[in-house]
């Protein structure tokens, strides 16, 4: 299991100088487009699950990483959940990239009772049931996705998400400059992102395959944040939070009310 522990920060004009002073090494710049999907009643995101397609690859981020293995308490909303000031600015998400596992987790979430329910609940249940019936088993769904859009990688198409009644709710392009930085106890990646809707944000990220190492990751991130002179104040919003606040205020308010954002 891959767990992504990260902390967002606002980029000061001298951030690149600070990174280079700390020995950070530039590992490249890239441009990518993200598309996020959910049901009309936001059943995935209200369950703190984020389904994304980036460069024809699917990824699901789930908030259950911090509570796995019983070694530490996971905070609400994928939060760092620790006792130190800096931990509260960190988030901790499990990243799933294997398509079969993504499909299984999405199906489980859509057919469960954890989501928004409400007025669209019944319709959504019917849609999910229909999507699952049409696709019969996930092995077949994956086969369908491979064949559905000529020239795309297997599974990169959106047929399987459509069959489950999911729709894109956010789409934006990011220009990213990434750095590699040695911290105490591990290596971190620092990304400086500029999204096409006019928001810039940085993030310090440590990936670990062992949930027992989350505290080490938090320590690495907090130390780097201190060295970069980042403020210990309020948690800095990510691109999605700002996107929803600007373009989908109702969805944003529901996520705030559930303490997911």
Nearer to ligand V4E, 132 or 258 (CB): 258
Q: Does 61 bind ligand V4E (CB under 6 A)?
A: yes
The dihedral formed by the CA atoms of 241, 193, 2 and 233, expressed in degrees to the nearest 10: -60
Instruction: Compute, in degrees rounded to 10, the torsion defined by CA atoms 242, 247, 249, 252.
Output: -40
Candidate residues 3, 8, 106, 172; the one interacting with ligand V4E per rule CB under 6 A: 8
Of 88, 180, 235, 258, the one binding ligand V4E (CB under 6 A) is: 235
Residue closer to ligand V4E by CB (options 178, 213) is: 178
The reply on whether position 93 binds ligand V4E by CB under 6 A is: yes
Nearer to ligand V4E, 18 or 235 (CB): 235
Query: How far is residue 107's CA from residue 184's CA, in Å, rounded to a whole number?
Result: 39
Q: Which two tokens stand for residue 18?
A: 């600070």
Q: Which part of the chain contacts ligand V4E (CB under 6 A), choosing from 134-142, 145-153, 206-214, 237-245?
A: 237-245
Q: Which of 121, 238, 245, 247 binds ligand V4E (CB under 6 A)?
A: 238
* Listed ranges 134-142, 148-156, 212-220, 235-243: which one lies at the site for ligand V4E (CB under 6 A): 235-243
Helix or strand (DSSP H, E) at 194:
strand 186-195
The correct pick among 78, 81, 165, 211 for binding ligand V4E (CB under 6 A) is: 78
Distance (Å, rounded) from C-alpha 145 to C-alpha 143?
Answer: 5
H or E segment and range at residue 175: strand 167-183
Handedness of CA 175, 195, 61, 91 (dihedral sign): positive
CB-CB contact of 178 with 28 (8 Å): yes
Residues that bind ligand V4E (CB under 6 A): 8, 50, 61, 77-78, 91, 93, 203, 205, 235, 238-240, 260-261
């Amino acid at each position: 299991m891959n767990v992504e522990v990260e902390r967002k920060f606002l980029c000061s004009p001298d951030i690149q100088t600070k990174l280079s002073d700390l020995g950070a090494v530039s590992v490249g710049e890239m441009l990518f487009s993200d598309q996020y999907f959910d049901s009309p009643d936001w059943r995935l995101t209200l369950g703190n699950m984020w389904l994304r397609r980036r460069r024809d690859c699917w990824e699901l981020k789930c908030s259950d990483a911090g509570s796995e293995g019983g070694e530490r308490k996971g905070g609400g909303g994928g939060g760092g959940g620790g006792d130190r000031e800096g931990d509260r600015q960190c988030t901790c998400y499990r990243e799933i990239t294997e398509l079969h596992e993504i499909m299984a987790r999405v199906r489980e979430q859509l057919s469960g009772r954890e989501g928004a329910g409400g007025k669209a609940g019944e319709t959504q249940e019917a849609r999910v049931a229909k999507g699952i019936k049409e696709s019969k088993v996930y092995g077949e769904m994956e086969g369908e996705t491979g064949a559905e859009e000529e020239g795309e990688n297997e599974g990169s198409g959106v047929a399987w998400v459509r069959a489950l009644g999911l729709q894109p709710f956010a789409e934006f392009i990011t220009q990213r400059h990434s750095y590699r930085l040695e911290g105490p106890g591990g290596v971190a990646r620092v990304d400086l992102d500029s999204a096409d809707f006019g928001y810039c944000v940085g993030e310090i990220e440590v990936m670990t395959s062992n949930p027992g190492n989350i505290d080490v990751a938090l320590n690495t991130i907090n130390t780097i944040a201190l060295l970069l002179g980042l403020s210990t104040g309020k948690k800095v919003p990510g691109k999605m939070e700002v996107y929803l606040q600007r373009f989908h205020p109702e969805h944003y308010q529901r996520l705030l009310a559930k303490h997911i954002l």
